[in-house]
């Protein structure tokens, strides 16, 4: 199988460095055959502006990917976006990102969830069983939208919910069951391995990937995709082998990348 890395950011999201071409240049050096640029999506109502590009940067973002593609004809360069799902954004994702700007794919992510009506952060904000239930609900709605090629870091709740218990297990099973019925691949995210580990009553571990999630995943016929989630060009491909080792340990099946590629390999004129 050709090497791929389908999740990376650019400086536009305010917490990453480099532009599309910088990432693709590193990908070429590391002999990654297929690379996908997927910055945090702009939102029509400018919600959570501190971690995403502004709407008026969208054309420039799309152009930066095309430029990187033109300069590296030896690689397959896909265009994408990492998105928080909300029913109100559905038309924007579909009409603007997929149809108008012809992005190759979208990643569904849950960085925020509705906690008793108000939006709360997943980073630092999943502490109670009720938070896990709300997190899973948000993730399942994201999958059900039908807009996304895969779901990023489904085990992100491990960053602040520290102890594996029956609540994490039931959240995990709800997510896995939905992924099976909706045929939605799940991502083992390399960025979690690079972040500072957390001290927990059950020992020190990465915030995510959280291993018990993936050991339970072995009971479900799901597919996985492993990405670096690079926020610096030098991090392209980083920790992907750690992710694949985890996938191998639990005999998780690799996702089929060909539907993404068929868009790109069809000549556009
Ligand atoms: Zn990010
Ligand atoms: Zn990301």
Residue percentage of the chain with pLDDT more than 90: 92
pLDDT of residue 117: 85
pLDDT over 80 (residue 264) = no
**Domain harbouring 91, CATH code:** 3.20.20.140
Q: With cut-offs at 50, 70 and 90, classify the pLDDT of residue 265.
A: low
Residue percentage of the chain with pLDDT more than 70: 97
Ligand in nearest proximity to the CA of 82: 2
231 CA to centre of ligand 1 in angstroms: 7
pLDDT over 70 (residue 1) = no
Mean pLDDT of 213-237: 98
38 CA to centre of ligand 1 in angstroms: 9
pLDDT over 70 (residue 163) = yes
50 CA to centre of ligand 1 in angstroms: 10
109 CA to centre of ligand 2 in angstroms: 8
- Per-residue pLDDT tens digits for 195-205: 999 999 999 99
163 CA to centre of ligand 2 in angstroms: 24
Could you tell me the pTM of the whole model? 0.96
pLDDT of residue 2: 72
pLDDT over 90 (residue 266) = no
Ligand in nearest proximity to the CA of 151: 2
205 CA to centre of ligand 2 in angstroms: 20
Q: In three state form, how does the secondary structure of the chain look?
A: CCCEECCECCHHHCCCCCCHHHHHHHHHHCCCCEEEEEEECCCCCCCCHHHCCCHHHHHHHHHHHHHHHHHCCCCEEEEEEEEECCHHHHHHHHHHHHHHCCCCEEEEECCEEEECCEEEECCCCCCCHHHHHHHHHHHHHHHHCCCCCEECCCCHHHHCCCCCCHHHHHHHHHHHHHHHHCCCCEEEECHHHHCCCEEECCEEECCCCCHHHHHHHCCCCCEEEEECCECCHHHCCCCHHHHHHHHHHCCCEECCCHHHHHHHHCCCC
Could you tell me the residue range of the domain that residue 35 belongs to? 4-265
268 CA to centre of ligand 1 in angstroms: 31
pLDDT of residue 269: 39
Number of domains in the chain: 1
Mean pLDDT of the chain: 95
pLDDT over 50 (residue 267) = no
């Amino acid at each position: 199988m050709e090497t791929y890395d389908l999740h990376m950011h650019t400086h536009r999201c305010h917490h990453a460095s480099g532009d599309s071409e910088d990432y693709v240049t590193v990908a070429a050096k590391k002999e990654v055959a297929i690379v996908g640029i997927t910055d945090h999506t702009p939102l029509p109502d400018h919600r959570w502006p501190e971690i995403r590009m502004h709407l008026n940067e969208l054309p420039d973002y799309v152009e930066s990917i095309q430029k990187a593609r033109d300069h590296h004809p030896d690689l397959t360069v896909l265009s994408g976006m990492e998105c928080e799902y909300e029913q109100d954004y559905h038309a924007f994702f579909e009409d603007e990102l997929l149809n108008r700007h012809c992005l190759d794919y979208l990643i569904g992510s849950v960085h925020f969830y509705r906690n008793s009506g108000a939006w709360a952060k997943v980073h630092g904000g999943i502490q109670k069983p009720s938070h896990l239930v709300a997190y899973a609900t948000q993730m399942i709605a994201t999958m059900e939208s039908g807009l996304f090629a895969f779901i990023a870091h489904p085990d992100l709740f491990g960053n602040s919910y520290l102890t594996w218990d029956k609540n994490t297990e039931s959240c995990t099973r709800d997510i896995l069951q939905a992924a099976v019925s909706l045929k939605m691949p799940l991502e083992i995210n390399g960025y979690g391995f690079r972040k500072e580990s957390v001290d927990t009553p059950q020992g020190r571990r990465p915030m995510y990937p959280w291993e018990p999630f993936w050991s339970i995943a072995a009971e479900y016929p799901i597919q996985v995709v492993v990405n670096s989630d690079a926020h610096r060009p030098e991090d392209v491909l980083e920790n992907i082998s750690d992710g694949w080792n985890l996938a191998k340990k639990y005999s998780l099946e690799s996702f089929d990348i060909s539907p993404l590629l068929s868009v790109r390999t069809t000549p556009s004129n």
